Chains A and B, each alone.
Chain A
Amino acid sequence: AQTVTQSQPEMSVQEAETVTLSCTYDTSENNYYLFWYKQPPSRQMILVIRQEAYKQQNATENRFSVNFQKAAKSFSLKISDSQLGDTAMYFCAFMKWETSGSRLTFGEGTQLTVNP
């Protein structure tokens, strides 16, 4: 079974600064997908970024980028120029492709607070 670990329950950053959230995972699979989801106080889960394991290039979406280290099974999220609206719970998630469908396995979450 796959496991996902986020070792930072809480983090804080000053507005306009950069912050990195950590995520490690354990799997014996070679082909899989990794995600970062954001859950603001509204509780709506929002997909932030997605990485395909067979792609060596790190995914980037505007101010959000990942550092994907496949051998180390590490998938960290970097948020540049942090904004107050980035305050949220962030979840790292793993998806293994299965013929009968896909399942997302989540980490414990990191509560990020952006301070003015």
Chain B
Amino acid sequence: DVKVTQSSRYLVKRTGEKVFLECVQDMDHENMFWYRQDPGLGLRLIYFSYDVKMKEKGDIPEGYSVSREKKERFSLILESASTNQTSMYLCASSSEGKLANYGYTFGSGTRLTVV
């Protein structure tokens, strides 16, 4: 069964900490994405990557960075966590080209609380 795996289901961090959210996919997908999900706002795109070592900003990149050193792994980094980054974070992946038009495969999400 193909999978996108997020390393933590729940995470509690303190304000000012550097936080790493890890995502691994086993489908050999080129494209990977990080979204945050908030009630009433749906899913908003933070960053995405179409290839190893490349990244592009999404709609809400402020306060976040990403790393993609290997094709299967896409990390989201909160350089200095703040309480307004308390949210659900979803990772997703997709194939490139026309296959991407069939949608994404999602991880199960990491619920991050910053205290």
A106 x B94 contact (CB < 8 A)? no
Number of A-B contacts (CB under 8 A): 60
B103 x A91 contact (CB < 8 A)? no
In Å, the complex CA distance between A47 and B27 comes to 17
Residue of B nearest to A33 (CB): B101
Shortest beta-carbon distance from A112 to chain B in Å: 15
A42 x B108 contact (CB < 8 A)? yes
Point out the residue from A9, A45, A109 that lies within 8 Å of B106, measured CB to CB. A45
In Å, the complex CA distance between A103 and B88 comes to 19
Chain B residues within 8 Å of chain A by Cβ, number: 26
Point out the residue from B44, B58, B92, B108 that lies within 8 Å of A43, measured CB to CB. B108
| Interfacial chain A residues near B35, Cβ < 8 Å | 106
Residue of A nearest to B9 (CB): A43
10 smallest beta-carbon distances between A and B, as pairs: A45-B106, A102-B100, A106-B43, A106-B42, A108-B42, A101-B50, A43-B109, A47-B103, A43-B108, A109-B42
